Structure 1
Amino acid sequence: MSARIDGIDSILLPTDGSDRALAGAKRGIDLAVATGADVHVLSVIDASETETITSLLGRDGDEEVAAIEAEAEAAVEAVATLVQETAPDLEVTTTTERGTPFRVIDRYVDTADIDVVAMGTKGRTGLERVRLGSVTENVLRTVAVPVLAVPPEAVDRSLSPAQTDALLLPTDGSPGGDVAIDWAVALADAFDAMVHALYSADTSRFQAQTQPDEILSKLEDEGQAALETARERAVEAGVSVTGTVASGPPARVILDYAEENAIDLVVIGTHGRSGVERQLIGSVTETVVRNSDVPVVCVPMAAESQ
């Protein structure tokens, strides 16, 4: 088993027994194997659902509530069994709790000192992308640790040194981006992958300006500075790195780059926690997570660097 990476000692795999949750669990297990982390498996019995049944049916709903509880237990055991079959040496903790799913997950992250949450997303339906699962979306908006968001398309794409060659790191030079750099470099080291640092020079927000060439030149200079920061940290860690400044809306640039360069994993910064309240994850990150065909590690500014 790989040596532990500082900052990645425990990984939470929330599950509801769905195929979407299984996709997240599989890739979360991969990450646990690569980092030597302990695994926590959690299933949340939605209190609003059971309370509604009890309110409508009274004691006649006891059997239905018991079935929901049994499903939660079975979902936890199924993922725990998968962990044991995949990596018998990993330590596994299983838990079933009641409450509002994303709030229980958030609380569990804090009380169990979880370092990473791995969850599935809904992904593609026909030619369009649908909304993220409400639980996943709320977890992304609330927890103060990185979330590995796994689309259904990645259910059979292992995150392992043998199959993970390219890691994409979008960066904008912000403090949030700097935290993501540390996580990206550490993960690239664990998977023996190359870091592709990417900066998007987006001039669309300056449409009213009369000197677009000057603006683009300034953005490209900022981009080179951001890429240099990523390059220095990667080189210091002995990780291979390449950098690109592209032009266009960031989310589109990121998704196009990932597809054209056979990226296996995206690591991107988010706004994270601010004081008592949590901020939105950011439109770029949210768009990337909704549309990516590969797993995306969303790193909040509150996350400790590697």
Structure 2
Amino acid sequence: MYTRILFPTDGSDVAREAFDYALDVADAHDATIHVLNVADTNQDSLTMVEGRVVDVLEDKGRGIVDDAADRAADRGVDTVAEVLQGDPVKTIVDYAAEYGIDLVVMPTHGRRGLSRVLLGSVTERVITSAEVPVVAVTPDGDHEFVYPPRAILVATDGSRAAGLALESGIDLARETGAALHVLHVVETATLGFDVRSVVASDQLDAKAESILREAVDAAETAGVDVVTQIAHGRAYREIRSYLSEHGIDLVAVGTHGETDFSRSVLGGVTTKIVRGSSVPVLLRRESESDAGR
């Protein structure tokens, strides 16, 4: 399923913790992991050492990727280690396309606010730019990540982007033997208690049932059993609750390819899930070609 996995890193403690998860993924799929450090050319990194110009960022990056390669070798995982100069987001996205990367794994500082993701806003922008799935990992000392996952949750609103997330969830469940859960949340916060709100609620429930029926059909066609549920309330809260109540190890969601991450699928729900999820989040981006289907 995955043969080439890309792990961009800045060598931070958070990145080192997330790398353990990336190695678990690579090991489970017998994949090669590409460790990439980008020396940001937007920074003034040139200095003089013994009469020669040395890019200190590139030198530091070489130490970071070499350390990661040594850790991968200890696990028996094949590694490609690269240090490149350029704009971090463009370099990461271009690298993924050039080398046929199947999956990008990136750490975040999500619990401290999305503005502090690894390498500034790089993770956010890669999520909304990459053509391949991205797994965002927020290391948390109180939670041990598990891969292969025992249970996968796909949170869906029936959009094309959510459909892509469902495809990834089904493929991964079939590959790993994980239990597949699909959740649709009917947002009730804006509904009042008059007759019109009752009608609107019934319509939303009917739509939810239709969305889940399609998900079940897709899973069963692929030979995967699925558990479905409709919840009512704030979507991100219901999704988080489901994660803890059902022992979910990975959640898959969709996102539109917008430059403003707050405009992702499910309103701002994807953003909040990335920020606060206790498990890795697999994100599938809806590209312009996908939107036209």
Shorter-chain TM-score: which interval? 0.7 to 0.9
Letter paired with 1:69? E
Deviations 1:69-111 (A, max 9, x none): 222011111222222222x2x4321110011212211111121
1:149-228 mapped onto 2 (5 Å cutoff)? 149-153=136-140, 157-161=144-148, 164-205=149-190, 210-228=195-213
1:281 aligns with 2:264: yes
Letter paired with 1:230? A
Instruction: Percent identity, please.
Output: 31
Cross-structure match for 1:142: 129
Tell me: CA distance 1:28–1:281, structure 2 relative to 1, closer, same or farther (3 Å).
Answer: farther
1:100 aligns with 2:91: no
1:243 aligns with 2:228: yes
Please state whether the residue corresponding to 2:238 is helix, strand or coil: helix
Larger mean CA deviation between 222-231 and 207-216 belongs to 207-216
The CA distance in 2 between the partners of 1:295 and 1:157, in whole Å, is: 11
Q: Does the aligned pair in 2 maintain the 1:144–1:272 contact within 8 Å? A: no
Q: Does the aligned pair in 2 maintain the 1:45–1:101 contact within 8 Å? A: yes
Q: Does the aligned pair in 2 maintain the 1:46–1:99 contact within 8 Å? A: yes
Tell me: CA distance 1:63–1:297, structure 2 relative to 1, closer, same or farther (3 Å).
Answer: farther
Q: Report the CA distance between 1:259 and its aligned residue.
A: 2.1
Note the residue ranges of structure 1 that are not aligned, 5 or more in a row: none
Tell me: CA distance 1:232–1:64, structure 2 relative to 1, closer, same or farther (3 Å).
Answer: farther
1:68 aligns with 2:37: no
Q: Report the CA distance between 1:154 and its aligned residue.
A: 7.0
TM-score normalised by the chain length of structure 2: 0.86
Cross-structure match for 2:240: 255
Tell me: CA distance 1:156–1:254, structure 2 relative to 1, closer, same or farther (3 Å).
Answer: closer
Please state whether the residue corresponding to 1:85 is helix, strand or coil: helix
1:35 aligns with 2:19: no
Tell me: CA distance 1:278–1:146, structure 2 relative to 1, closer, same or farther (3 Å).
Answer: farther
Letter paired with 1:41? V
Note the residue ranges of structure 2 that are not aligned, 5 or more in a row: none
Q: Which of 115, 135, 138 is the equivalent residue of 1:131?
A: 115
Please state whether the residue corresponding to 1:189 is helix, strand or coil: helix
Q: Does the aligned pair in 2 maintain the 1:28–1:148 contact within 8 Å? A: no
The CA distance in 1 between the partners of 2:95 and 2:163, in whole Å, is: 27
The CA distance in 2 between the partners of 1:154 and 1:233, in whole Å, is: 36
Cross-structure match for 1:79: 68
Cross-structure match for 1:10: 4
Please state whether the residue corresponding to 1:204 is helix, strand or coil: coil
Letter paired with 1:249? R
The CA distance in 1 between the partners of 2:141 and 2:106, in whole Å, is: 12
Q: Does the aligned pair in 2 maintain the 1:160–1:191 contact within 8 Å? A: no
